Amino acid sequence: MTYKFMAAMLSASTAAIAIHAPDAQAQTSPRSQSDRQAYDIAAQDLKTALRQYGRISGREIVASSDLVAGRRSARVEGRLTADAALARLLAGTGLVAEPIDGALVIREGNDGTGERGSTDGRDDAIIVTGTRIRGGGPVGSPLEVVDRDALDRSGRATLADFIQTIPQNFSGGPGEANVGTTARSGAGSNLSFGSTINLRGLGPGSTLTLFDGTRPALGGGSGAFADLSLVPSAAIDRIEILTDGASAIYGSDAVAGVVNLRFRNRFEGRETRLRAGTADGDYGEYQLGQIVGTRWSGGHLVVAGEYYRRGSLGSTQRDFTTEDLRRFGGPDLRSNYDNPGTIVAANGQRFQIPRGQDGTALTPAMLVAGDFRRGDARRNIDILPKQETLSFYASTEQDVGDTITLFARGFYAERKFEARQRVFGPSPITVTSANPFYVDPIGTGQPITVYYDPTADFGAETARGKVRALNVSAGARAALGPWSVEVAGGYGRQREASDVINVVNRLRLSRAVAATNAAQAINLFGDGAVNSPALIDSLRGGLDRRVGYDVWTASLRADGPLVQLAAGEVKMALGAEYRRDRLRFRQVLDFTTDTPLTLGIPGLPDKRIVRAIYAEVAAPIFDAGSSFPGALTLSVAGRYEDYSDVGDTANPKFGARWTPLPGVALRSSYGRSFRAPNFDQLVGSANALYQVLRLPDPQSPTGQSIVLGLFGFRPDLGPEKAESWTAGVDVEPGFLPGARLSATWFRISYRDRIASANSDLQNFLRRRDVYGSLIDPNPDPAVVAAYFAGPSFSNSIGATPAQIVAIVDGRTRNLSRATVSGIDFDLAYNHAVGDGRVGLSVGGTRLLKFDNRITDSAPSTDVLGTLGNPVKLRLRGRAGFTLGAFDGGIGFNHAAGYRNLTVTPAERVGSWTTFDLQLGARIGAPERRSLRLALSVNNILDTDPPYVQFRTTGSAFGYDPEQASAIGRTLALQAILSW
């Protein structure tokens, strides 16, 4: 029977191959199956990987060329037995190895749903992102896996940097380059220059980030995002990206998708990483990483550490980060503040204060009549902050008997940051003749107004501080027959301290302006720093903010087979979870009062408790093998969650995968998802403001109406909700071995989004067709009277209740809708060349629409391809090779052009394409001590971002940090020593 099987298998293809035939010594002295060898086999075409495996293990491998063509191996690293190494190598290929007459014959198997690139855990204990069932992948949902090799060959130093190259990600929201430029998508809460991921541009709160399947503590002023800048890249094994709604599996936040960071928990050996990089010679980064892994009988331990340091990037280092945009065809947006400044006399005339004098002997004759002296605030602002990060990771497991495994994992990081940042900025200062340095340009002795930039005296406003994060988890797994049961618990905490220095205390400044003694009065009339340091120090204020986020988790889960069908086993997973979150916020304000004010967030909930139960079933409906109609698998999942603050929610998900022919798979999914409000969105009426306003009103004879405006947060805020659909195809054509195509259509319909329309308050009465649901045109007099009598009422125009003709609701509430649809695609081709290979790949996202609707009754607006929103097309591609000890590649990143509707007339923004180069060489054998040297040149052509007239609250510049990077060409050298 054995000989017949081998003969049939080999005769099935004229290209049958012996992957490895051991030499005579290996044949007479085979290695024991329990012996461990050092393996370092990259993820690559399967034929080459099997050859490397055969050389290391000494085993004879037999496979059909047609069978392995077009398949890629998983990465294998560490000291492993030959069986364990081969199992990892074949994970996710759909193939198994069967021992026949002393050789290992590769054939089709039933593990095709295994986790691609996994080196984590036993082969039968694999859980892929998007499912709770071990040993399988998410049925019907698209999943992208970025392995360790792809990270190494990307040329990116940090995980946060690499995430920005993913086509499905939109760089708007919390990112270090966005601080101080926009408040969109929670960017305003990024107090400590963290970085996160924002799939589909629906906001970072709509993307769930996991650390090995566990929720980490969150960052930012409202605890709204996972800070990826804290994660040591040396400890990452792979990134699993599920671009599909998954609240039925994971609960809140998994609206646009899930990003699961998998750590190198099975690493064995020692690896040291060194990296140094620079951008145009004025922006440097340094990175040192170390990982050590060891194994003993029934257990293992992995410890990793990383240090990363990067300098700041000042605006003066890039031509396009200036407020004077005339060189790009734009306007001059410099402010009226400079040093020396400008005097506006009592009659409105403007006089520039001359340079080269200290203001103590200034006379009216020395002043220069004309316009304001314009100042470029960008010269004192950093594009990117100085960052210094120290992080550690540890993982251990221990078997207890034959059925129980104990495990624990921990992660700790500290990050320091510092950046010049415009937080408050200057304001006009009125100076009277009492000031000893007073100069009246027109000789009337009346008060003058000085437009003075205090930076020369006080220094640039600067934010600096520290972030500390700790995430630990522990638990036990038990094998109960074919079922696996796991109980686990975890704790995470993140502490952020952000201090803004060189702030002017405006109350103390006003006293110094009014002082009559020259030693106590401030001199606003000089060029540069002309005041005494002691006086300036007495006028300094500040802004200190402290944020703490804590999360406790506990879970009980089980999975295993339910029943055997003709097509295979029906498998099930079920479990229960508990989570407790807490956010603390405190700030000390010292810029408007004599004594610093310590404030929290009134009404902030003390804690949030979440209890959940879930179940998931995957069933094979039929399986005709390689004959039509092939195989069909269906899945259904459901999750119920109860929140202590916003009620309960139930969400289902359905998936289907059909492989009608070999090499062709069709898949689809449908699910409902949700996102719970952030803590600071649940303060209710504690921060309410009820204010009388005059608004434009075409229905009023005077053109205006007096209304009562409601501001703050509605007390009945509930979760945001979404429905997600996907349909896709995966093709690996038999006529072109090594080629594969994947395409996925998706649609996310997002409703009850938490938002406020008060930014467009002036249009409420003019656009009743849009804002009608937020207007009460005939308010009850008793309701109006109650608002007038409340403690949060403000009436600056002195209106009476009888004059109120409408109540307009500008509160944050479950208000808007959004619908985003598009196509993700990935095309790749790998071809073996001798002992090497060449590969081509291109992938991207083509968005079809991104509709926003402010209210249910309002018309929808397509914001796709506009400033502040995702572009229509993003691409990422690479052409690479591996040849013996050498490897390299050229990659490109492309973002389509878009429109800037924030200016009049609207401007067209050009597309942006950059090219990257990576070259590497390995010295030594992978199974022994080896050194890999790599050169990376990102943005090799030093292509500047396209010009955009990008305006912020207090400044402006000429590029879009949400769509492009200001860094420019980056050159880096990296050494990876395995020993």
Which of the four pLDDT bands, split at 50, 70 and 90, describes residue 48?
confident
Residue in 940, 874, 866 with CA at minimum distance from that of residue 912: 874
Give the pLDDT confidence of 216-250 residue by residue, as tens digits.
999 999 998 999 999 999 999 999 999 999 999 99
Which of the four pLDDT bands, split at 50, 70 and 90, describes residue 890?
very high
pLDDT, residue 68, reads 76
* C-alpha distance from residue 493 to each of 188, 189, 318, 413, 574 (Å): 21, 18, 37, 11, 28
User: What angle, 0 to 180 degrees and rounded to 10, lies between the N-to-C axes of helices 46-57 and 82-90?
Assistant: 180
Angstrom distance (rounded) from CA 306 to CA 910: 38
- Choose the most confident range, by mean pLDDT, from 41-50, 70-79, 251-260: 251-260
pLDDT, residue 42, reads 83
Sheet of 448-451, strands arranged across: 368-369, 350-352, 342-344, 448-451, 429-431
Which tops the pLDDT comparison, 63 or 542? 542
Positions of E strands within 697-791: 704-711, 720-731, 739-755, 775-776
pLDDT, residue 20, reads 44
Collapsing DSSP to helix, strand or coil, 277 comes out as strand
Q: What are phi and psi of 39, to 5 degrees?
A: -115, 135
Give the pLDDT confidence of 432-444 residue by residue, as tens digits.
999 999 999 999 9
pLDDT reading at 89 higher than 90: no
Angstrom distance (rounded) from CA 847 to CA 818: 14
Angstrom distance (rounded) from CA 408 to CA 873: 42
One-letter identity of residue 289:
G
Q: What secondary structure letter does DSSP report for 453?
A: -
Other C-beta atoms closer than 10 Å to the C-beta of 946 total 20
The DSSP line for 415-438 is EEEEEE--SS----EEE-TTSTT-
Give the pLDDT confidence of 830-859 residue by residue, as tens digits.
888 877 889 999 999 999 999 988 887 788
The enclosing H or E element of 457 equals helix 455-458
pLDDT, residue 122, reads 40
Mean of pLDDT values over 591-595:
92
Mean of pLDDT values over 888-906:
94
Angstrom distance (rounded) from CA 83 to CA 31: 11
Give the pLDDT confidence of 419-429 residue by residue, as tens digits.
999 999 999 99
Angstrom distance (rounded) from CA 87 to CA 125: 12
Angstrom distance (rounded) from CA 191 to CA 772: 36
Other C-beta atoms closer than 10 Å to the C-beta of 377 total 25
Q: Which of 34-38, 311-315, 417-421 has the lowest mean pLDDT?
A: 34-38
Which tops the pLDDT comparison, 171 or 47? 171
State the pairing for strand pair 813-833/720-731. unpaired
Mean of pLDDT values over 902-923:
94
Give the pLDDT confidence of 468-482 residue by residue, as tens digits.
999 999 999 999 999
pLDDT, residue 1, reads 39
Which of the four pLDDT bands, split at 50, 70 and 90, describes residue 917?
very high
pLDDT, residue 182, reads 84
Distance of CA 218 to the CA centre of its chain: 12
pLDDT, residue 102, reads 54
pLDDT reading at 517 higher than 90: yes
Other C-beta atoms closer than 10 Å to the C-beta of 346 total 14
One-letter identity of residue 951:
R
pLDDT reading at 524 higher than 60: yes
Which of the four pLDDT bands, split at 50, 70 and 90, describes residue 965?
very high
Collapsing DSSP to helix, strand or coil, 409 comes out as strand
Which of the four pLDDT bands, split at 50, 70 and 90, describes residue 430?
very high
Which of the four pLDDT bands, split at 50, 70 and 90, describes residue 187?
confident
Average pLDDT taken over every residue of the chain: 89
Angstrom distance (rounded) from CA 389 to CA 308: 5
Which tops the pLDDT comparison, 55 or 274? 274
Instruction: Give the global pTM.
Output: 0.86
